[in-house]
Amino acid sequence: MTHSKVIDSIATEDLKNSDNGEPRVCANTSSNENNLDVANEQPTINSNGFAKEPVTKMVERFRKFLPVVVDVETAGFDAKTDALLELACIPIIMDEQGKFILGEALNAHLMPFEGANLEQRALDFTGIDPNNPLRKAIAEEEKPAIRRIFKELNAVRKDNNCVKCILVGHNAHFDLSFLNAAIERTNSKNHNPFHQFSVLDTVTLSALAFGQTVLARACKAAGIDFSGAEAHSALYDTQKTAELFCHILNSYPMLTVALLEDNITIDQSGVE
C-alpha cells in the first residue's frame, strides 16, 4: 500500500463515475510475431525486425529469470518499522505456444511482527483489522509463511530452469522493500528466490502500452475487469497485476534482434 495506491483508490472511484466510452488501447500484435526462439539456429526475422518463431520457454525470455507478480498490504509506508499484513505471489509461466499465463497463486495473512508499528490511517485504507478474530484464525507468523511461499516459488523456478525469480509489481520497489525487510527479519536470505533489487514494474509497462499509470485505469484500458470494492486485498491486486502484465507482454512487440544479441553476449561472457 503506497501513496500511489491511494491514488489508485481515488482513480477507481473516478472510473465508476466516468462515461462508458471505449478505453484507449494500443494496436495489438500477435505474440507469434513478437518473440524470439533463442535456439541454436538463427531465427527467421520479419521485415520489421521481429522474429516469426515465438519463445516457448521462460528460461529464454528474461535472461533466465522467472517473473513473479507480488503484492503486499501493510500497516504503513516504512518497511523496517511497519507491519507486513498480507503477501501474495503469482508466478508467470508460458503455455506451449509461448503465451504468458498465470501460475498458481500463493498468499498469506500475516501476524504483525513483534514491535511492529500499526498506522491507523493505513488500516482504515486497506480495511484490514489485525485484531479481527476471523483474521487471527488464519493469520500466520512471518517466518513459516514466507518460507512456505518461497519453497513453492523455488519449485516453479526450477521447473522452468530459471536461476532466480524477478519481482513484478505495480510500484514494484515498494513491494520489494517490504519483502526484503521481512527476509532480513526472518533470516530467510538462503530461502529467497528473488533478485535482491531488480524488478519489472507494470506502472512503466502500462504507461508505455496505454498511457496509464494507475492500476485500475490500466486494467480498464486493457479490457480487464477491476473492482474497486475488492481492491487492496493482496491476492486480488496480485491477480489483476498479473493479468495486466500477461496482457501487455502477449500483445505488444519485442525487439527480438536485440534479445538475440544480448543472449549471445551473455552466454559468451558468463555475466549473470
**Domain range annotation of the chain:** 3-267
C-alpha cell at 179: 519483502
CATH of 3-267, one of 3.90.1170.50, 3.30.300.30, 3.30.420.10, 3.40.50.300: 3.30.420.10
Cell numbers at residue 118, please?
A: 500499526
Could you give the CA distance from residue 74 to residue 82 in angstroms, rounded to a whole number?
A: 7
Structural element, H or E, at residue 69: strand 65-74
| Rounded-to-10 torsion of CA 225, 230, 235, 237 | 50
Cα-to-chain-centroid distance, residue 58: 15
The answer to whether 87 and 179 have CB atoms below 8 angstroms apart is yes
User: Residue 122's closest CA among 130, 114, 132?
Assistant: 130
Catalytic residue numbers read 232
pLDDT tens digits for 85-131?
999 999 999 999 999 999 999 999 999 999 999 999 999 999 999 99
pLDDT digits (tens, 9 = 90+) for 1-36: 544 454 455 444 554 444 444 444 333 443 444 443
Report whether pLDDT(216) > 60.
yes
* Residue (of 111, 110, 84, 71) closest to 236 by Cα position: 71
Task: Determine contact, residues 121/81, Cβ cutoff 8 Å.
Answer: no
Mean pLDDT of 129-154: 97
Question: What are the DSSP calls for 153-196, one per residue?
Answer: HHHHHHHTT-SEEEEEETTHHHHHHHHHHHHHHTT-GGG--EEE
Write down the pTM of the prediction: 0.78
Report DSSP state, residue 94.
E
In this prediction, residues 239-258 reach a mean pLDDT of: 87
Looking up cell 496480485 gives 238
- Higher-scoring residue by pLDDT: 233, 34: 233
Label residue 265 exposed, middle or buried (CB < 10 Å: 0-12, 13-18, 19+). Answer: exposed
